[in-house]
Structure 1
Amino acid sequence: MGTEPANDGERELRDACVDGDVVDLTGRADRAVRAGFLESLMTDPAVTIRAVRLRNAVIEGTLDLNSVEISFPVAFEACEFAAAPDLQDARLLRLSLRACRLPGLAAGGLEVQRSVHLDEGFTSTGTVNLVGARVGGSLYLRDARLDARSSADGHALNGSRIRVGGHLSCTNSEIHGQLRLISAKIAGVINLRGTTLSRPGAVCLQGERMEVGEGLWFGSKFRAAGRLLLSHARVDGGVDLAGSTLTEPETMKENDRLPGAAVSLRAVRIRVARNLKCADGFSSTGAIDIESAEVAGTLSFRDAVSCGSGQVVNLAGTSAGTIDLAFKKRPDGTLNLRNTSTKVLIDAPDTWPAVITLDGFRYGRLQAPTEDAPETPVALRLQWLGRSPNGYLPQPYEQLAAVYRAAGQEHEARQVALAKQRARRHKLSIPGRIWGRLMEITVGYGYRTWLAGIWLLGLTVAGATAFELGTPVAAVEKPQGFHSVVYTLDVLLPIADFGQERSWQFVGGLRWLAWGYVVAGWLLTTSVISGVTRVLNRS
């Protein structure tokens, strides 16, 4: 075990490891244990070791267990390492570094059959490298402090491609630098409740393409200064950001999909088997980008306090069982629902953002936030449609009308359809706008055909009165008796022939009135046919 004689602590450890007893150097004048001694002890085939357990020691030198296979538990508690241990490609039964202080950890490719404990006061001032590591049990980082501000790459923990058979528990920890979990596979839960991630203006959690077997929990005491990146991740449970606080977002470059935006959360194409909650006091100073996601349960912003000052909440292309947009406070940015789909939409008019992109948004049912809340009136829903920055688009009107119709609310559906035609009219040429206006006042674009009856009655009464006061002139030798009402209907209705128009005619102003009635009759009839045809075609 080396050429230098062992000190008291080393000799005590050599004797204790046979039975797996703990050696505690607390209060000793000499707490030093050489890394070379530990390497020799743990790799000496002549020594039968049950466990190595060392407390409150100072490990001098670099502990080099690179590619070593150790079949017994290794536990350091409250120890101080002078250099970052090298455990790359090592194979261990169990590893614990509870409350230890070290300048980093090189453990890429490490394989541990059971659990790994880097918790209960574990402190690292450099990168903890677990790239490609395999942990059969759980990885514990509870009450840990990782500080990579002096590291060149800023990675506090690099767990890219790590495989964990249990949970990744990182609760109540403080991490300065990036928590990097690209393509990680965690069979259980990733628990970040009570933890603070700090990498202002940059990515503080990089979880692209990671796979989580149960859930991703942030919780109400989670704090992040920087951007959370969860794009293309798959979570077979739920994602809980309820009550979390996201600050100091990353500003996207000009070639980004949201150029110039300050983004706090990006989860493009994430797949969540249950719920994704940005709710219950959730607060973000940057944009929320959850585009093209798949959420089997509820995507919730219920009682979210802030979703970025002047920033976008981007849900474009996302599908969810239910989308709950009952914010606690009205977002002052843009809500993008382009090509989003959901079975149930929950929202409230008093928290609608000023700008909402609705083109391609598909939903099956509208629901108030609570059972005793009144249903949003159709007039307010039409204002909702009018918040689109793109002006008139037909699909949002057709979708809303279809939802009302499916709910048996035919009156509301007709109001939406009529509003659609009014909005469309402003996009037409001058002749088109004139014809559209005529269609509206005569038959309500086919949705108020009873208007034609009112026009017919009014014109008939007015015409009959005028013609009754006039003096008709016989147009044939033996005319039938003159009846002002029948004469009015004869000139007004193009498809009617009561013989009055062929038998009698007027001169002067009443002759012009008769011709005007002919024109009015054709316009009214054309409007009715056109409006009814439009409605039938839509149906």
Structure 2
Amino acid sequence: MLSYDELTSPERELWDAFPEGRRVDLRTGVPDTDAPPAGDRWGPDRTVRAAVVATLLLGANDDRSGTVAALRLTGARITGRLNLSGTEICHTFSLQGCRLDEAVQLHGATTRTIEITNSWVPGINAELARIEGDLDLRRSTFEGGFLILVNARMAGNLLISDARILDPEEWAVRAGGLVLNGGVFGQRLTTQGGLRLPGAQLLSGLFLQGARLGNTAGVALAAGGMAASTVDCSQGFAAQGGVLLRRARIEGLLTFEGAQLNGDGVALDCVSMHVGDFDYRTATPLSGLVDLRSAQATWCQDSEQSWPREVLLEGFTYGSIRFWDAPSAAGDDGPPTRDGVARRLAWLRRNPGYVPQPYEQLAGWYRQIGHDDDARRVLLAKQRHRRLTLSPSARAWGHLLDVTVGYGYRPWLAGVWLLALTLLGTLAFSTHSPSPVKRDEGSPFQPLVYTLDLLIPLGGLGQRTGWYWPNSSLQWLSYLLIAFGWMLTTAIIAGITRTLQKN
């Protein structure tokens, strides 16, 4: 136990101010001198030992009645190791503009709000800590260390806006299993390591607008299995590394509007993610692929410029989806445009290989909003894509179905073919006179009826069996029309059957 006589002048000032919760300010008023990075040059008049801070926080000199004790210190250099692991801290702890020589140890501690703002800190280990308030680290710099919050619980928020975490190991923040009744507010956060939040529960959400995350190991944000109300990575958010949201549950908005995601390999992993509103209007296309397999979104919006070359879409389902036009010159977003089927099909083709589900999902959405013609165009594109995977004979049959009836989704093509062949036969047969099979029997020759009799394989109009052509070219034309009639009829039946089975 430290005695009062052992304390230095700034330590005595802090000791005397603690019972009343007064702030002790040791700054000189010269900005360059007071900057925490220069704190290693601060002399004894601005130095407080970590042991003194710990002694006060653990209950020394807090027996003055009528006041609320609190430790509030500004502009001090704290030497030694501040070790509060496993302790119960009942007082507010506030450091502003300070420099700590060693990492703060809060492993398993129970405490109220902790404020270490605009300070220089080698690191904070608060694994398994219980914080009945906020952990406020705004504008602080972590150099050579990291922030550990594994399985910690907070009644308030984690505030790391404008903070910098430099030169850690692989991860700048390790917070797997973190439970917050509030949220993580990291606007304009800068890190040289990744944020690791697997299984975290963030009641108010994760807010990283304008943050810049970098990780040479390849993952900038690892939040698999995270549960949050909102994840906001917009307004200039930049990730130099992958963003992993596999199996995350986001009740409200997930937005990357105006963000830059530059991960190699998988830039955005959303496999089996559940989200309310998914806003994917990034500032630039991703350098890596986007994996949306088995993800579910109630509402999804994107822009043509946002998607990378490769997007995995198998199992991705959504209640509504739309493109947004690029921002106007004034910087305002334009109104949502009606989706063009061609653009959506180009989006589907970014999925490698043939996968039927994305086509079925998109067609189902078009039906849902009453665009049945667009739905048929999507299903036709699906059949054309599938045809590329078939054997040569099956591809040939597919081409026939496509040309004649559009795989059943364009039945009007059959009418076009029938009209064209009827016109061809009528004109050709009207230039010559055929010979009757039996003289003075049957109806007079009529080129139009004769052509229709050749094209319609079922039944008969009495012309085909009553006349023949001495001219071999016209006789061969009649044979070809019979063959075309059978092929056209077969294609129509196959196409209609396919459509009826599908609908």
Q: Alpha-carbon deviations, 1:455-514, whole Å to 9, x = none? A: 111111222333332413325883233322222222211223223233333453433333
Shift of 1:228: 0.8
Task: Note closer, same or farther for the CA distance 1:5–1:298 as it changes in structure 2 (3 Å cut).
Answer: closer
Shift of 1:58: 5.4
**After superposition, where does 1:172-187 map in structure 2 within 5 Å?**
172-176=139-143, 177-187=145-155
Q: 1:364 aligns to what? A: 319
Task: Specify which of 55, 62, 83 is matched with residue 73 of structure 1.
Answer: 62
Q: Distance in 2 between matches of 1:528 and 1:303?
A: 49
Select between 167-176 and 501-510 the one with higher mean Cα deviation: 501-510
Task: Specify which of 261, 270, 275 is matched with residue 226 of structure 2.
Answer: 270
**After superposition, where does 1:419-498 map in structure 2 within 5 Å?**
419-468=381-430, 469-474=432-437, 478-498=441-461
Task: Note closer, same or farther for the CA distance 1:73–1:355 as it changes in structure 2 (3 Å cut).
Answer: farther
On the 8 A contact 1:72/1:94 being kept in 2, the answer is no
Task: Specify which of 463, 470, 474 is matched with residue 500 of structure 1.
Answer: 463
Give the counterpart letter for 1:382 in structure 2: L
State yes or no: 1:302 paired with 2:257: yes
Q: 2:84 aligns to what? A: 107
Give the counterpart letter for 1:523 in structure 2: M
Q: Distance in 2 between matches of 1:517 and 1:19?
A: 103
Q: Distance in 2 between matches of 1:224 and 1:383?
A: 36
State yes or no: 1:189 paired with 2:157: yes
Task: Specify which of 206, 211, 223 is matched with residue 190 of structure 2.
Answer: 223
Q: 2:39 aligns to what? A: none
Shift of 1:7: 6.5
Q: Alpha-carbon deviations, 1:355-412, whole Å to 9, x = none? A: 2222222122223434435334221222111112x22211111112222221222222
Task: Specify which of 295, 319, 325 is matched with residue 280 of structure 2.
Answer: 325
Task: Note closer, same or farther for the CA distance 1:314–1:226 as it changes in structure 2 (3 Å cut).
Answer: same
Select between 433-442 and 191-200 the one with higher mean Cα deviation: 191-200
Q: Distance in 2 between matches of 1:8 and 1:62?
A: 8
On the 8 A contact 2:185/2:206 being kept in 1, the answer is yes
Q: Alpha-carbon deviations, 1:275-298, whole Å to 9, x = none? A: 211110111221211222111111
Q: Distance in 1 between matches of 2:4 and 2:306?
A: 74
On the 8 A contact 1:74/1:94 being kept in 2, the answer is no
Q: Distance in 1 between matches of 2:346 and 2:208?
A: 31
Give the counterpart letter for 1:537 in structure 2: Q
Q: 1:409 aligns to what? A: 371
Task: Note closer, same or farther for the CA distance 1:505–1:134 as it changes in structure 2 (3 Å cut).
Answer: same
Shift of 1:9: 7.0
On the 8 A contact 2:54/2:84 being kept in 1, the answer is no
Provide structure 1 residue ranges, at least 5 long, that are not aligned to the other structure.
27-54, 76-91, 148-155, 252-261
Q: Secondary structure at the match of 2:193?
A: strand
Q: 1:257 aligns to what? A: none
Q: 2:120 aligns to what? A: 145
On the 8 A contact 1:467/1:510 being kept in 2, the answer is yes
Q: Secondary structure at the match of 2:486?
A: helix
Q: Distance in 1 between matches of 2:116 and 2:459?
A: 89
Q: Distance in 2 between matches of 1:13 and 1:71?
A: 13
Q: Distance in 2 between matches of 1:191 and 1:465?
A: 84
Shift of 1:344: 1.6
Q: Secondary structure at the match of 2:478?
A: helix
On the 8 A contact 1:322/1:342 being kept in 2, the answer is yes
Q: 2:107 aligns to what? A: 131
Q: Identity across aligned pairs (percent)? A: 30
Give the counterpart letter for 1:531 in structure 2: G
Instruction: Figure out how many residues of one structure are paired with residues of the other and give that number.
Output: 468
Task: Note closer, same or farther for the CA distance 1:435–1:97 as it changes in structure 2 (3 Å cut).
Answer: same
State yes or no: 1:524 paired with 2:500: no
Q: 2:300 aligns to what? A: 345
Alpha-carbon RMSD across the aligned residues, in angstroms, is 3.4
Q: Distance in 1 between matches of 2:18 and 2:208?
A: 46
Q: Secondary structure at the match of 1:286?
A: strand
State yes or no: 1:232 paired with 2:199: yes
Which protein is richer in helix relative to its size?
A: 2
Q: Distance in 1 between matches of 2:421 and 2:50?
A: 106
On the 8 A contact 2:18/2:70 being kept in 1, the answer is no
On the 8 A contact 2:175/2:198 being kept in 1, the answer is yes
Q: Distance in 2 between matches of 1:109 and 1:404?
A: 58
Task: Note closer, same or farther for the CA distance 1:502–1:111 as it changes in structure 2 (3 Å cut).
Answer: same
Q: Distance in 1 between matches of 2:23 and 2:184?
A: 38
Q: 1:116 aligns to what? A: 93
Q: 1:280 aligns to what? A: 235
Using the size of structure 2 for normalisation, the TM-score is 0.84
Q: Secondary structure at the match of 2:162?
A: coil
Q: Secondary structure at the match of 1:166?
A: coil
Shift of 1:8: 9.1
Give the counterpart letter for 2:219 in structure 1: V
Using the size of structure 1 for normalisation, the TM-score is 0.78
On the 8 A contact 1:331/1:351 being kept in 2, the answer is yes
Q: Distance in 2 between matches of 1:485 and 1:126?
A: 99
Q: Alpha-carbon deviations, 1:64-111, whole Å to 9, x = none? A: 869x97486399xxxxxxxxxxxxxxxx98656663502222211111
Q: 1:203 aligns to what? A: 171
Q: Secondary structure at the match of 1:478?
A: coil
Q: Distance in 1 between matches of 2:405 and 2:415?
A: 9
Give the counterpart letter for 1:225 in structure 2: Q
On the 8 A contact 1:326/1:346 being kept in 2, the answer is yes
On the 8 A contact 1:9/1:25 being kept in 2, the answer is no
Shift of 1:330: 2.2
Give the counterpart letter for 1:485 in structure 2: L
